[in-house]
Amino acid sequence: MHSVWKTSIRFTIVTAILLGLGYPLLVTGIAGVIFPRKAAGSLILKDGQVIGSELLAQSFTSDKYFHPRPSAAGSGYDATSSGGSNLAQSSKTLVDRLQASIDKLAAENPGHPVPIDLVTTSASGLDPDITPDAAYFQAPRVAKIRGIGEERIRALIDQSTASRQLGVLGEPRVNVLDLNLALDKMGK
């Protein structure tokens, strides 16, 4: 009976070392060799400085930029507090927040339906992408503030739209940080 306990304890220690340390280190090492940019967090550099990641949303509040989805992560776009609001559809708090957001956006672009992803948070609160419709909805505001023709802004959105992965997975999407960086390259 005593040897059964010793065997169990040894097996637990060996398994913990192999699967808790060895396997993650092996997978991380392989990922670093095969996909070095992705393994490092898909960081975006500007003038040699890290300004963000393609994988995490960040707040853009200036009207000269495209805005991401709202965030319920911490105080907003906080990667250490990732998560949704967990409010039910019947929640008055949620309904009031959504209506306030819809009213504000509808005033920004009268006569156009407000895309749902501009008023709802993602499950993580850190989704870096918006739908092409959400980007097109914001195009008139960005064009007006920057003094650039709306058709040029729409063309930039078209260029920045990623298609479905493998042609079938996910939906077409626009990375807000990449789009805003491309917008800055246009000037104004």
Max Cα-Cα span within the chain: 82
N-to-C CA span, the chain: 78
Residue pair 95/135 in contact (Cβ under 8 Å)? The answer is no
Q: Whose structure tokens read 């000269």?
A: 64
CB crowding 39-48: b at 16 or more within 10 Å, else e: eeeeebeeee
**For the segment 37-79, what is each residue's pLDDT rounded down to a tens digit?**
888 888 888 888 888 888 888 888 889 999 999 888 777 777 7
pLDDT at residue 187 in the model? 75
Q: By 3-state DSSP, what share of the chain in percent is helix, strand and coil, each rounded to 5?
A: 50, 10, 40
* pLDDT at residue 24, as a whole number: 94
**For residue 147, what pLDDT is reported?**
93
Q: What is the pLDDT of residue 160?
A: 94
Say whether 158 sits in a helix, a strand or coil.
helix
> Look-up: residue for tokens 């092409």?
132
Could you give the CA distance from residue 18 to residue 134 in angstroms, rounded to a whole number? 46
Which runs of E-coded beta strand occur in 47-180? 49-53, 129-130, 161-162, 173-175
101 touches 118 (CB < 8 A): yes
H or E element, residue 25: helix 23-34
Its pTM stands at 0.79
Report the 10 Å Cβ neighbour count for 130.
25
Burial class (CB in 10 A: 0-12, 13-18, 19+), 2: exposed
Place of tokens 């776009």: 77
**pLDDT at residue 188 in the model:** 67
98 neighbors 89 (Cβ within 8 angstroms)? no
Q: Across the 188 residues of the chain, what is the mean pLDDT of every consecutive 10-residue run?
A: 85 95 94 88 85 86 91 77 77 89 90 92 86 96 93 96 91 94 86
